[in-house]
Amino acid sequence: MFSALAKQVFERMGFSDATIARVLGPLQIKQFWPDCHPVHPAVAEHFGLNWCGPCHRYPLRHEGTFTFAEFVHRYVAYDWNEPLAEGIWCASGRDQAFARRRLEEGLRRSPDSSLGYAFLSQICLREGDADAALAAARAAVRLDEQNPHAHFAVGQSLLRSGLATEGEVALCRAVRAAPTTATASLELARLYRSQKRFDEAHSVICDALEVFPHDFALLVTGAKALIEACKLDDAEALLREAIAVKPIAAEPHWLLGDVLALKVRRAVVADYQAMVGRLPDNANAQAGLGLLQSRIGDHVKAEAAFRSAVALCPEELGSRIQLATAISRQGRTADALSMAIELERDRPDDQRVRTLLTHLRKEPREAETTDHSEKSAVPPTALGLRSKALESVPELMTLARCGG
């Protein structure tokens, strides 16, 4: 409404159309807040506000939408749905059964409450009732397609049901519909991390940080994605920002220590790589380099090193297994599985090959059904930062110098 009124005022002041468009262009028409007063139809008609005519409906107290007359009647009479309000309030509390009963009672009185169905979906999800959660979430979207809580609930329900692609689409919609909250961005970034799409996870976090530059959860989640993508300098910067926001929080200190240690390890790997450069035809040296790159989380370089080792010594089974593993850790499970099946044809009785196949066949199902919430600090092993990463460096160097 502000844009429409301002346009008329600027026109009367003699501003050109180009100037008016440049001034009003960045402004966005946003939803009314739940208790915002509606526009009287006569006012809308006077100013030519076609978008809020006599049939336009306005939200009130999350109970649904109402015409101007219905809204005024309920507002003046202070007619409100107490069970619905109480259920929404208690949805994040400990007594989930009580919250669900109140929400269901409230929704019987206000069946057009999109927010009520969105919170009911979250309760059903916590109770393990995935089908009911998805049904409630879709009802929330049907009632209000602009409700970010509804799209977020749909995304969570689909992910829990193992429908990762559909869940991603719903979460993307939630991000677009909720520019004032970081929750959907966090969930989407966690999904991308679980799928080893680290650059996309970081991109989502960066977009959210432009709006919420001091959001602690965004800073930490973004740092984790950067660690997994081996962008340690950027990860360190985000972790230091997170520590500045919450100095007593343990998790960013823990992760920062791992990042600094990993930088040292990368320097050691660089020295080893320089030595390997002097032994280009040594398969053991290439395999050793691949192992070290893998241990510090750089699976792209690890793949290249293992490919070199396999090209130099195709009959060495260990390098071929490590190559398939490095590929799977980049999220290319299908390629790794194809390679493992080929290995099984060559070595049908080898236990290492059977173990690799079992793991790769199970990995897609785990990625689809995993719970992407993060309620506690992620241990270093979850990010591939192991204290024993370089235990075998002396032996590998000796082996390479001796030519295997």
What is the mean pLDDT of the segment spanning 59-64? 73
Q: Look at residue 403 and tell me whether its pLDDT is greater than 60.
A: no
Tell me whether residue 1 is in a domain: yes
Classify residue 33 by burial, with Cβ atoms within 10 Å: 0-12, 13-18, 19+.
exposed
| DSSP helix/strand/coil, 11 | helix
What is the mean pLDDT of the segment spanning 284-303? 87
What is the mean pLDDT of the segment spanning 115-121? 91
What is the mean pLDDT of the segment spanning 85-105? 89
Q: Look at residue 375 and tell me whether its pLDDT is greater than 50.
A: no
Higher local confidence (pLDDT), 49 or 198:
198
Most confident of 299-303, 361-365, 375-379: 299-303
Higher local confidence (pLDDT), 33 or 43:
43
CATH of the domain at 302: 1.25.40.10
Residue 247 confidence class, pLDDT cut points 50, 70, 90: very high
Confidence at residue 117, expressed as pLDDT on a 0 to 100 scale: 92
Q: Look at residue 93 and tell me whether its pLDDT is greater than 50.
A: yes
Tell me whether residue 56 is in a domain: no
Structural domain including 328 reads 279-367+389-401
Please state, as a whole number, how many other Cβ atoms lie within 10 Å of the Cβ of residue 32.
Answer: 15
Confidence at residue 36, expressed as pLDDT on a 0 to 100 scale: 57
Q: Look at residue 380 and tell me whether its pLDDT is greater than 70.
A: no
Q: How far apart are CA 274 and CA 404, in angstroms?
A: 18
pLDDT tens track for 151-160: 889 998 998 8
Residue type, 78: Y
Token match 């669900």: residue? 100
| DSSP helix/strand/coil, 38 | coil
pLDDT tens track for 64-75: 777 787 777 777
Confidence at residue 225, expressed as pLDDT on a 0 to 100 scale: 87
Q: Read off the tokens for 27.
A: 């402004």
Report angle CA 6, 12, 15 to the nearest 5 degrees: 80
CB 103 within 8 A of CB 123: yes
Q: Look at residue 235 and tell me whether its pLDDT is greater than 70.
A: yes
Confidence at residue 25, expressed as pLDDT on a 0 to 100 scale: 61
Q: Look at residue 19 and tell me whether its pLDDT is greater than 90.
A: no
Q: Look at residue 252 and tell me whether its pLDDT is greater than 60.
A: yes
Token match 């429409």: residue? 4
Tell me whether residue 11 is in a domain: yes
CB 335 within 8 A of CB 304: no
Tell me whether residue 2 is in a domain: yes
Distances (CA, A) of 355 to 290, 340, 366: 20, 10, 16
What is the mean pLDDT of the segment spanning 296-305? 87
Confidence at residue 394, expressed as pLDDT on a 0 to 100 scale: 43
Q: Read off the tokens for 130.
A: 């995935």
Computed over every residue of the chain, the mean pLDDT equals 80
Tell me whether residue 118 is in a domain: no
* Number of compact structural domains in the chain: 2
Confidence at residue 381, expressed as pLDDT on a 0 to 100 scale: 36
Q: Look at residue 331 and tell me whether its pLDDT is greater than 60.
A: yes
Backbone phi, then psi, for 144, in 5-degree steps? Answer: -155, 100
Q: At what angle do helices 114-126 and 130-143 cross, to 10 degrees?
A: 170
The runs of H, that is alpha helices, within 161-282 are 164-177, 183-194, 198-211, 216-228, 232-245, 250-277
Higher local confidence (pLDDT), 393 or 300:
300
Q: Look at residue 123 and tell me whether its pLDDT is greater than 60.
A: yes
Confidence at residue 27, expressed as pLDDT on a 0 to 100 scale: 53
